[in-house]
Structure 1
Amino acid sequence: MDKDPVEGWHHMPAVPLEVSPLFSWPLRPGAILRWVWNSWFLISEKLILVALAFVSLTWLQPPLSETATPALPWMAQIWLRNLGLMLLVAGGLHLYFYTWSAQGKRLKYDPRPLMKNGRQFTLGGQIRDNMVWSLGSGVLVWSAYEVLMFWAMANGYAPVLTWGQSPLWFIALFLLIPVWESFYFYWIHRLLHVPFLYRHVHALHHRNINVGPWSGLSMHPVEHVIFLGSVLIHFVVPAHPVHILFHMMYLTLTAATTHTGFEGVLIKDENRLRLGTFHHQMHHRYFECNYGSLEIPWDKLFGSFHDGTKAAQDRIRARRKRMGAE
């Protein structure tokens, strides 16, 4: 039930927003199971990405025997695949929500249109600017990390996990990668809000106060290197190539889906595929709140959680004033 929601939004989910029960105490097994079910099933971004990772592994991925030796053909294959995926996902979502306006403003958080012009954008317009940073630096750094990981796995520098070694861990790793990403994202995001890094690096991403699908991966190259560096955990934690593919797709493709500006895709007047998160949408408008995601409650622990209510808005405003005075 809504509890005095903050004003100024066209559409909002029920508030107050709640973080996952994964790290609440005492543990509530029923709530945890419901959270996992709602996050993964029946149709979800995560399951779609798992399927896409297996499709890529089967038909679009060079084998480890080939990646053992650096060579332009297999590296180019990875880059072309990732370029195609970003065009398909971010481009497809932009066409659906903004070019064709397939569901109008239904489930759209911000009532305003994307900016066609703006001096803050390097190339004059929001969409053009976002596309260049996403497809240029974003896809290049994404591909470079995959090249590094597959080369390292092929040469024994990164441990490889197989289904035969541990089927349970093989499956569990898909569930744990989003949790690791939530942990990692909060801390690197807080780092990027340090004034020097914000001014010279992260401000590029925050040009997007009202976000669209191309905004998610629109970042400074330095931020791409930091943000996508989450995958380096697999130099320590064994993984199969399909986990690397899923991990990188989770970082890059959900950057597009979570920045759609819409809560989801309507089919027969029901939200059948949840996409954009209001939690992060508020970060783009209010800046100094919701640095992380809902999987791990870092923002609640450190006083930067905005749950969508007027009371939370007052707390965040007071917090910003204190930060400005420091």
Structure 2
Amino acid sequence: MDDSLYGSRDKRGQWTPNKRPSREPLFVWPAQPRKFLVWMFGFPGYLWPWNTVFIAISVVAWIYLTPSLEAMREFDIGWVAGILLRNAALAVLIYGGLHMLLYIQRRQDTNFKYNSKWPDTDNSIFLFGSQTAENVFWTMCSGVPVWTAYEVITWWMYANGYILQLDIQQHPVYFIGLLLIAPAWLKLQFYLVHRLIHMGPLYHIIHRVHHNNVNPGPWSGLSMHTFEHIIYFSGVLFYFVVPSHPMNVMFCLMIQALIPALGHLGFDKLVTEGDKHLDADGYYHYLHHRYFEVNYGDTLIPFDEWFGTSHDGSAEADEAMYRRMKAKNYKRGGSRA
């Protein structure tokens, strides 16, 4: 599949898609009902394919791979270890599977790869000198345990009545509504905590680990300092105060745990066969890793447009970014030098 039909690569090896990121119809005014419905229910769109995939994973995980609430009323090494192993297996399957296809087997070579270079294998900035090895270490030894800890505590609280559990049969519309707003809630939560850890000492103490990945790959998605994992997965606390069903929580956790693999894929599209492909939709966040001071959030809720930190990959956006940085006497990890 020829990526030059969809974008262009400059002399430095940076590939830029022809279609630039833009805000989703949710926050377009005046409202465009038809465009909104196409975005909500069309392919690709808000529900299809990725959120539907995460819902399916959540259903399977809750029904077949999670103990009953009765069994989780008391902490026990057996069921806790079972959830940890399930989450580790999911991480290896999703993160490792995408890495295997794109970075080991190199099924697409560099087609649709934003940065034509491959991950560093001899760079002292990374643990063990290897970008991939460091990414796997932080994901599996910190990310998966923190994800599991949030999940275990949540199930224990449900089992003991500390969280009000929703009855799906009595409140089906409310249940579906919570499913639909979960991705939007997590985008909001992500922007707030992400903006926070870009400030001064918090960046240098916590977030720098993640930003070692200027040229990210799938394993980079959850490659974070443990403190950042604790903040990142805190989105699930929403359900501690809002009546919900455990499936709502499972969906929330699966999004937070697995979607970073897509957001940090390093490729704009996944080529399936012939001219068929799936959009990974990671260019907006890739620009954040490349330029650091832009795109703290997502196009779903256009905080970056509202606060002047949006970058769509164009030369005009470059000029605006450099003017802003010069005006602020910008220094990485702090507002002023």
TM-score class, shorter-chain normalisation, is over 0.9
1:202 and 2:207 equivalent? yes
Larger displacement relative to structure 2 (103-112 or 76-85): 103-112
Q: Residue 33 of structure 1 aligns to which amino acid in structure 2?
A: L
How far apart are 1:268 and its partner, in Å? 2.8
1:105-130, Cα deviation, whole Å (9 max, x unpaired): 11111111111121111221100000
8 Å contact 2:189–2:235 — kept in the other structure? yes
Counterpart secondary structure, 1:53: helix
Residues 284-299 of structure 1 mapped to structure 2, 5 A cutoff = 284-299=289-304
Q: Tell me the CA shift for residue 323 of structure 1.
A: 3.4
Choose from 29, 33, 50 the match for 2:33.
Answer: 29
Q: Give the direction of change, closer, same or farther, for the CA distance of 1:269–1:172 in structure 2 (3 Å limit).
A: farther
**Residue equivalent to 2:235:** 230
* 1:273 lines up with 2:278 in the alignment: yes
2:88 is aligned to: 83
Structure 1 residue 269: Cα displacement: 3.5
Alignment-derived partner of residue 113 in structure 2: 108
Give the aligned partner of residue 196 of structure 2. 191
CA distance in 2: counterparts of 1:248 and 1:222, whole angstroms: 17
CA contact (8 A) 2:9 2:16 kept: no
Return closer, same or farther for 1:209/1:63 CA change in 2, 3 Å cut-off: same
Does 2:75 match 1:70?
A: yes
Point out where structure 1 has 5 or more consecutive residues left out of the alignment: none
Give aligned pairs, total. 323
Q: Which residue identity is paired with 1:25?
A: W
Structure 2 counterpart of 1:285, which letter?
A: R
Contact 2:121 2:131 in 1 (8 A): yes
Q: What pairs with 1:205-216 in structure 2 (closer than 5 Å)? A: 205-216=210-221
**Using the alignment, how far apart are the partners of 2:281 and 2:24 within structure 1?**
17
Structure 1 residue 13 displacement after superposition = 2.6
**Matched-pair contact (CA < 8 Å) for 1:213–1:256:** yes
What percent of counterpart residues are identical? 37
Shift of 1:95: 0.3
Matching residue's letter, 1:32: F
Q: More displaced, 284-293 or 271-280?
A: 271-280
- Shift in Å, 1:259: 0.8
Deviations 1:62-86 (A, max 9, x none): 1111112111111111111000000
Kindly report the root-mean-square deviation, in angstroms, between the aligned alpha carbons of the 2 structures: 1.9
Question: Given the alignment, which residue of 168, 174, 181 partners 1:169?
Answer: 174
Q: In the alignment, is the contact (CA less than 8 A) between 1:23 and 1:297 conserved in 2?
A: yes
- Secondary structure at 1:268's aligned position in 2? coil
Tell whether the 8 Å contact from 2:8 to 2:15 is kept in structure 1 after alignment: no
Choose the corresponding residue for 1:240, options 241, 245, 256. 245
Within the alignment, does 1:39 sit opposite 2:65 as a pair? no
Per-residue CA deviation, residues 154-209 of structure 1 (Å, 9 max, x unaligned), is: 11211212321211222222221110011111111110100110011000000000
| Correspondence for 1:263 | 268
Secondary structure of the residue that 2:329 maps to in structure 1?
helix
- CA deviation after TM superposition for structure 1 residue 276, in Å: 4.8
SS in 2 for 1:273: strand
Taking the aligned partners of 1:185 and 1:271, their CA distance within structure 2 comes to: 31
Give the ranges of 4+ consecutive aligned residues of structure 1 lying more than 6 Å apart after TM superposition. none
Shift of 1:99: 0.4
Please state if 1:18 is matched with 2:27: no
Q: Which residue of 1 aligns with 2:140?
A: 135
Q: Is the 8 A contact 1:22 1:295 kept in 2?
A: yes
1:202 to 1:257, Cα distance in 2 relative to 1, 3 A: same
Q: 1:192, 1:155 → 2: CA distance?
A: 34
CA 1:119–1:324: 2 relative to 1, 3 Å: farther
Quick one: distance in 1 between partners of 2:200 and 2:209? 13
Q: 2: CA distance between counterparts of 1:30 and 1:72?
A: 51
| 1:200 partner letter | I
Shift of 1:271: 4.8
The whole-number CA distance in structure 2 between the counterparts of 1:85 and 1:210 is: 24
Moved more, 268-277 or 188-197: 268-277
How far is 1:6 from its partner?
Answer: 9.8
The reply on whether 1:324 has 2:324 as its aligned counterpart is: no
CA displacement at 1:225 relative to structure 2:
0.3
| Structure 1 residue 9, shift from structure 2 partner | 5.4
Provide the C-alpha distance between the structure 2 equivalents of 1:67 and 1:270, rounded to a whole number of angstroms.
48
